[in-house]
A = this chain, B = another copy of it.
Amino acid sequence: MSKTWRRYCTACIVVGVALPVAAQQITTPLAIAKQGSFFIGGRDVYSETLRPSASPFFTTTGTVTIDQVYVRYQVPVGANGTAITLIHGCCLTGKTWETTPDGRIGWDEYFVRKGHAVYVIDQVSRGRSAANTAVINGVRLGKTPSDQLPPINLAGHESAWTGFRFGPEYSKAYPNTQFPLEAIAEFWKQMVPDWTGSLPTPNPTLPALSELAIQLGGTVLIGHSQSGIYPFGAAALSTRGIAGIVSIEPTACPEAKADMTPYTKIPILVLWGDYVDQSPAWAPRLAACKAFAEALAKAGGKIDSVVLPEIGVRGNSHMLMQDRNNLEVADWLLVWIDQNIEGRTRK
C-alpha cells in the first residue's frame, strides 16, 4: 500500500499545477502527422429480411457485414508517448471523449496534444459500428416470433441522472458537482440505444480490441463504465500489445477468484469519481473492484485503485472525462501512465 500511496502523492502535486498548463496549450494550433479511420473485425451474415420489402434495386435477401468496430485516430507530430485507445460505456458512443457538452476540449484531442496517438472506437452495434437489424423486419413480416427481437436498452434521463451521479435524485445536483449541468441537454443527445444484450459471447468488441492492440504494437486501453471491464477481457484473450489498462468507473472488474495470470503482466489503474460510496449502484462495484485489486496485488500484479476525492479531487461525476476539471484529471492520468507504463517523469 505504501508504494501505491507514493503514487497518489505524486499525483496530488501534479493536480495542483495542472490546469494552467492545460489551458495554456489549448489555444495553440495542433499539428497532426496522420489521422483517419478504419474498422477492426467483422463477419459476413446472410439474411432474407434485410428490408421489409424489396425496392426496385435492393432485394430483401443478401449478405451484410456485422460485428466490426469503427476506429478513428489522430497521431500528433512528434508523438512521444504510448498510443491511447478510448472505449466508451453503455448507451454512448466515441462521442464520449470528444468536445464536452459545454464545448470544452475532450480527452481525445487533449491526449493528442500531449504527444499520444489516440484511437477512439465505437463498440460493436453502436454508433458507426453497424447493428444487425434483420430480425426486426422478420418479426414485422410475421416470419419470426416477437420474443426473438433483440433486447435493446435506452437510458432515460431520469435514471441516468442518478446512475451517472450528477446528483442524489433526478434534477437535483450535488452542490459541488464538476459536471457542466447547464449543458445537460447536450449530454442527453450523446445517448444512443445499447444492443449489447443481443451480441454473441464474447462481445465481439473484445477480440477487436485485442486485434487493435496487436496492430498498434502497444497501447493503453482505457475503458469506461460498461466497457471498464473490456480491457481485462481483451487481456484475457491475449496480453500482446496491451501496454496498460485504465478502467474508469467500471460496472464490473474481473472476479477476485479469476485467473490473475494475464493481469499480472500489465500495469493497471482503476479510477473512480466522487460520491461512489453514497450510490447504491456504484458502492458495491467499487467494493468488488477493490477485492479484485487486492487479489491481483497478492498475485504479484501492479494495480492502483484510486478514488479521486481520496486524493483531494472532489465533485467528479461518472462522466469525469466531461467534467469541468476533465483536463486536471487527464493530467493526473498522464502522470500515472508516464510513471507506470513508460517509466519516466514528464516535465
Contacts and interface: CB of A to CB of B under 8 A. Distances in A.
A52 B148 CA distance: 12
B128 A57 contact: no
Interface string A277-311: 00011000000000000000000000000000000
Nearest to A147: B140
A262 interface: no
A62 B158 contact: yes
A146 B142 contact: yes
A37 B152 contact: no
Contacts of A142: 146
A153 B105 CA distance: 36
A156 B64 contact: yes
A93 B268 CA distance: 35
Interface string A189-200: 111110000000
Copies of this chain, tallied across the complex: 2
Interface in A23-72: 29-33, 35-39, 42, 44, 47, 50-52, 56-59, 61-65, 68, 70, 72
B157 A63 contact: yes
A131 interface: yes
A313 interface: no
A contact residues, range: 35 or more
Contact of A137 (B35, B56, B103, B152): B152
A51 B152 contact: yes
A149 B141 CA distance: 10
Given A51-B152, A153-B58, A188-B64, A94 B158 contact: no
A32 to B, nearest CB: 4
A109 interface: yes
22 contacts: A29-B32, A29-B33, A30-B32, A31-B32, A44-B157, A50-B155, A51-B154, A57-B162, A57-B280, A58-B156, A62-B159, A64-B154, A64-B155, A64-B157, A64-B188, A65-B189, A65-B191, A130-B192, A131-B193, A137-B151, A139-B146, A142-B146
Given A58-B159, A59-B156, 17 more contacts: A29-B31, A30-B31, A37-B95, A47-B156, A51-B151, A51-B154, A57-B162, A62-B155, A62-B158, A63-B156, A130-B192, A133-B193, A136-B136, A136-B152, A137-B151, A140-B146, A140-B147
